Structure 1
Amino acid sequence: MRKLKVLFVFIGALSISLAPAQTFQKMTIEEMFELADANSRSIRMFRLAEEEAGQAVKVARNAQLPSIDVSVSASYLGDAWLADRDFTNGENAAMPHFGNNFAIEASQVIYAGGAITSRIAIAKLQQQLAELDKEKNRQDIRFLLVGNYLEMYKLQNQAEVYRKNIEQTRKLVEDINAKQSQGLALKNDITRYELQLKSLELALTQIENGILILNNQLVTVLGLPQETVINVDTTLLGRLPKLSEEALWQETAVLSSPVLQQMKLNIKQSEYNERIAKAERLPSIALFAGDKLDGPITIEVPPINKNLNYWYIGVGVKFDIASTFKSGKKIRLARLSTQRAQENDLLLQENVRTEVKEAYIRFHEAFTICDTQEKSLELAAQNYSVVNNRYLNDLALITDMLDASNSKLNAELQLVNAQINILFNLYKLKKTAGCL
C-alpha cells in the first residue's frame, strides 16, 4: 500500500512537470490590435476575399483585349460520287485523299455601348466593397477584443477586492473564535461569518474562471499559444480620454463608416447595371482580320489538288433587333434597383446617426457615473476613517469596522469599473463611427 502511494505521488509530480508552463505577457490595447491584424483567421479570410476581387478586375479587363482564334485540321477525303438530279447515271469521281485546313482570325471590339467598361467598373466596385468588408470585419474583431480585454480588467480588480474581503472575514472569524472561548460570542455568530466566507470564496472562484475564459478567447483570436496569460495594461486608466463634441463624431461617421461607404458603392454598382441594360439596345462594332489556308479545292469539279490561301480584313456590326422590345423591362428593373439602393442609403444614414448619438450619450453618461463614483469613494474613505478611529478607541465593533472597510473596497472597485466603462464606451463610439 505504501509503494502504491509513492507511485501515485510520483505520477502526480511527473504530470505537473510535463504540463506546459504558463507564459505571462503584458499587452497594451494597441499591441493587441496589431497582433489581431497579423494573426486573426477572420481578418485573413477577408484579406483573401479582397485579393480575389482584385483578380476579378484583371479578368474583367480581358474583355478589352483582342481575341485570336486559331484552328488546324487534317482529314481523309473519300472519292466523290456524281449523278443526275434524279439520281441516275451515277459514277465515282476520284478525289485527292488528303485534306488540310489552317485558319487564324483576330477580332477587337471597339464599341459595345459601354457594356465592357461598365463591367470593369463593377468589378472595381466589388474590389472596393471587399476592402470595406475587410475593414468592417477588422473593426468588429477589434471591438470584440477590447470588450474582452476591459472585462478581464474589471474581473481582475473584482477578484482583488474579494481576496481582501476574504482576508478580512478570516480575521473576523478568528477574532470571534477568540471571543467565544472567553464567553463573549455565540456559536451562531461564527457560523454566520463562516457561511459568508464560503460565499466569498465561491464568488472568487467564479470570477477567476471568468478571467480564464476571457483569456482563452483573447489568445485564440490573437493566435498566441494557449498557455499564454495576458496581463492587462494597468496604466491605461491614467490616460482617460476627454469628452468631445457629438458633431465631430457624426462627421467622422459620414466619412469613415464602412457601412455607409458600402452603400455609396452599391448605388454606383446599380447605376452601372443600368448602363449595361441600356447597352443591349446599341450595336456592337468590331474590327476583324484573318487568314485561311485550305486544300484541296473541292468547290471545283473535278477537284483541284492544290492549297488555296486567302486573307481578309474588315469591320463588323452586330445589332440584336429583339433587344428594342426586350431590354425595356431590364432597364426598368435596373432603375428600380438604383432607386432602392438610394433609399436604403438614406435609411442607413439615419440609423448610423441614431447609433452614433446613442453611443455618444452613453459615453457622456460614463463620465457622469465616474464623477459620482469618485464622490462615493471620497465619502466611503471618510466613513472608514471615522469608524477606524472609533474602533481604535473601543467605541465601535469589529463588524462595524468590517462594514466600513468593505464599503471602501467596493467604492474603489466601482470607481475603477467606472473608469474602465469610459474606455469601453469610447471604443464603442469609435466602432459606431467607423474609426476603431
Structure 2
Amino acid sequence: MGRYPLNKRLVLLSFTVLLTLVFMLIASSSGAQDMRIDSYRVSLVEAIQFAKTQNKWVQAAKIAESAAVEDRKDAYKAALPAVNTNASYQRFSDLTLFTDRLNHAATGPRKPTPHTAALGIDALFNIYSGGRQQALQSEQEARFRIAEVNTQDQTGNIALQTASQYLELVRLNDLNKLIQDQLGRAQTRLNNINSLFRNQKVTRSDVLRAEVMLSNVELSLQQNENDVIIANQKLNVLMNIPDSVRILPSDSAGIPKPEITSLLPLMEEAGTTSFVVQRAGHYVEAQRAKVKGVQSNTLPSLSFYTAYGLNYPNYLFFPPVDQTYAIGFVGLKAQYSISSLYHSKSKIAASKLRVKELELHQQAAVDNVRIQANSYYIKYKEALNRISVNERSVEQARVNYRIVSTKYFNQLALLTDLLDADNLYQESRFNLIKAQTDALAIYYNLLYTSGRL
C-alpha cells in the first residue's frame, strides 16, 4: 500500500470496511431466514393423509411393491420362447503333419480353407413342463400380493403413529392452556394472600406455600412446552417435513367421537380384512405354488426347438468344399428325470408340511386379531363412559374450587384445602383431555387392526 497516497489508502480502507459490513448483514439476514419457524394449522385427517404419501418408510414399501411387480412380469415372460443368436469366425494356422512320431514334419494349408465362420439363430419353446411355469407364476403372483399388503400395512402403521403423535400434541397443547390458566390462578392467589398478609390476616407460611405453588406451576409449564417441541419434531419426522415447521393442530381433544355402533362392522370384519391375516393367507398361497413347482420336477417335459444358420466352409460333404451353405431344422425334445422319483420325495413332503405350518399361522393370526379387535371395542366403550364421568367431575371440581376459595379468603378454610381444591380441579380437567384423546387413539388402533386405516 506504500505506493498509494494517504487519502486514497483511507478511501480504500473505508470501502473495504463497508463491504465487510454489507457481507456480515447479508449473512446474518440469511441466517435469520434459516432459523425462521413456519407454522401451519393441520387437522388430524390432513396429517394422516400427508404422512401416508410422504413418509420415507411408506415410500420404501412402495418401491418394494414396484420391484414385486417386475418380478411378476418376469415370471410371465419366462413362458415366452428362448431365442439365441450366435456368430463365430476362426482363422487356422498351417497344418503340420509328422511321420515316424515327431520326425519328418511336413507343413501345408488346412483344407479346404484356413477360414471358418458361422452365423445362426435358434429358439426353444416349452410346451409342457409338468406345471412348473404355472407354479412360478402363481408364486410370484402371491409374492406381489404380499408386497401389496406390506405397503398397505406400512401405510396404515404410519397413519396410526401419526394419529397417536397428533393426539399427543393435541393433549400437550390443551394441557399447556390448562397450566397457563392454573398459573394465572396461582399468581392471583399469591397477590391476594400478600394483601391478606400485609393486613396481618394470614401468616408468612401461607405466603411461602403460595410462592412454592406458583414456582411448581411455572416449572410444569416449562416442562410441557419442551414436551410440545419434542412431540412436534416427532410428528415432523412422520410427515417427512423440515424440523423448522411447527404444526398447530386445528382439531382439539373435544372433537366428536364415532358412535360405538360404528365400530361393530370393524370388529366383525377384522378376522378377514386385517393386514396380518391377509399377509398370512398370501404366504399360504405362495407355499402351495412352491409345492406344485417341486412336484413338477417328477413329471416329463416337452419342448419345441428350431435353428437356422449360415456356415463356412461346407463340411457336410467329404471331402469338405470351400463354399458357404445355409441349413435349419425343427424338432421336439422330450425329457424325463428318473432320479427325480427319489430326489424330490423329501422335498415334496417338506413343502407340504410348510403349507400346514403356514395355515396354522394364519389361523393363529385370525384368533389374535379377533381378540385385539374385541379388546379395542370394549376399551372404546369404556373410554366413552370415562369421558362422561370426567365431564361431570370437571364441573364438580370447578364448583368445589370456587367454594373453597371463597371460604379461604373469608378465613373459613385453610390454604391446604384451597391448594388441594386447585390441584383437584386441574387434575380433573387433565383427565378429561386424556380420556378424550385416549378414545380417539383406541378408535384408530381398531381401524389399523381391522385393516381399514
Once residues 246 and 108 of structure 1 are traced to their aligned partners in structure 2, the CA distance between those partners, rounded to angstroms, is 55
CA contact (8 A) 2:405 2:418 kept: yes
What's 1:76 paired with? 91
Q: Which amino acid aligns with 2:203?
A: L
> Is 2:275 the partner of 1:253?
no
Once residues 410 and 429 of structure 1 are traced to their aligned partners in structure 2, the CA distance between those partners, rounded to angstroms, is 28
- Please give the TM-score of this superposition, normalised by the length of structure 2: 0.85
CA contact (8 A) 1:172 1:398 kept: no
> How far off its partner does 1:269 sit?
0.7
Aligned mate of 2:391, from 361, 374, 379: 374
Which deviates more from structure 2 when the two are superposed, residues 327-336 or residues 180-189?
180-189
Once residues 93 and 298 of structure 1 are traced to their aligned partners in structure 2, the CA distance between those partners, rounded to angstroms, is 19
Aligned mate of 1:33, from 48, 64, 72: 48
Q: Which amino acid aligns with 2:53?
A: A
- Please give the TM-score of this superposition, normalised by the length of structure 1: 0.89
CA contact (8 A) 2:275 2:449 kept: no
What's 1:431 paired with? 448
Once residues 402 and 234 of structure 2 are traced to their aligned partners in structure 1, the CA distance between those partners, rounded to angstroms, is 42
CA RMSD of aligned residues (A): 2.8
CA contact (8 A) 1:282 1:319 kept: yes
The secondary structure found in structure 2 opposite 1:64 is: coil
The secondary structure found in structure 2 opposite 1:225 is: coil
Once residues 240 and 246 of structure 1 are traced to their aligned partners in structure 2, the CA distance between those partners, rounded to angstroms, is 11
Q: Which amino acid aligns with 2:195?
A: A
1:86–1:319: structure 2 CA closer, same or farther, 3 Å change rule? farther
> How far off its partner does 1:273 sit?
0.5
Q: How many residues align?
A: 425
Unaligned runs of 5+ in 1: 1-9
> Is 2:71 the partner of 1:56?
yes
What's 1:6 paired with? none
Alignment of 1:176-255 (within 5 A): 176-234=193-251, 237-244=254-261, 248-255=265-272
Q: Deviations over 1:98-127 (max 9, x none)?
A: 211122111111111111111112112111
Unaligned runs of 5+ in 2: 1-23
1:380–1:133: structure 2 CA closer, same or farther, 3 Å change rule? same
CA contact (8 A) 1:165 1:406 kept: no
1:408–1:188: structure 2 CA closer, same or farther, 3 Å change rule? closer
Which deviates more from structure 2 when the two are superposed, residues 355-364 or residues 240-249?
240-249
The secondary structure found in structure 1 opposite 2:78 is: helix
Which deviates more from structure 2 when the two are superposed, residues 303-312 or residues 15-24?
15-24
What's 2:321 paired with? 304
The secondary structure found in structure 1 opposite 2:299 is: coil
Identical amino acids, percent of aligned pairs: 23
What's 1:124 paired with? 141
Q: Deviations over 1:176-200 (max 9, x none)?
A: 2223333333333222222222111
Once residues 295 and 304 of structure 1 are traced to their aligned partners in structure 2, the CA distance between those partners, rounded to angstroms, is 9
1:387–1:184: structure 2 CA closer, same or farther, 3 Å change rule? closer
CA contact (8 A) 2:314 2:324 kept: yes
> How far off its partner does 1:307 sit?
2.2
> How far off its partner does 1:228 sit?
1.9
What's 1:163 paired with? 180
Once residues 388 and 125 of structure 2 are traced to their aligned partners in structure 1, the CA distance between those partners, rounded to angstroms, is 73
> Is 2:51 the partner of 1:42?
no
Q: Deviations over 1:238-293 (max 9, x none)?
A: 41111127753332212321110111111111111010001001111111111132
CA contact (8 A) 1:39 1:222 kept: yes
> How far off its partner does 1:210 sit?
0.6
Q: Deviations over 1:57-115 (max 9, x none)?
A: 11112211111111111111344567899999986664211211122111111111111
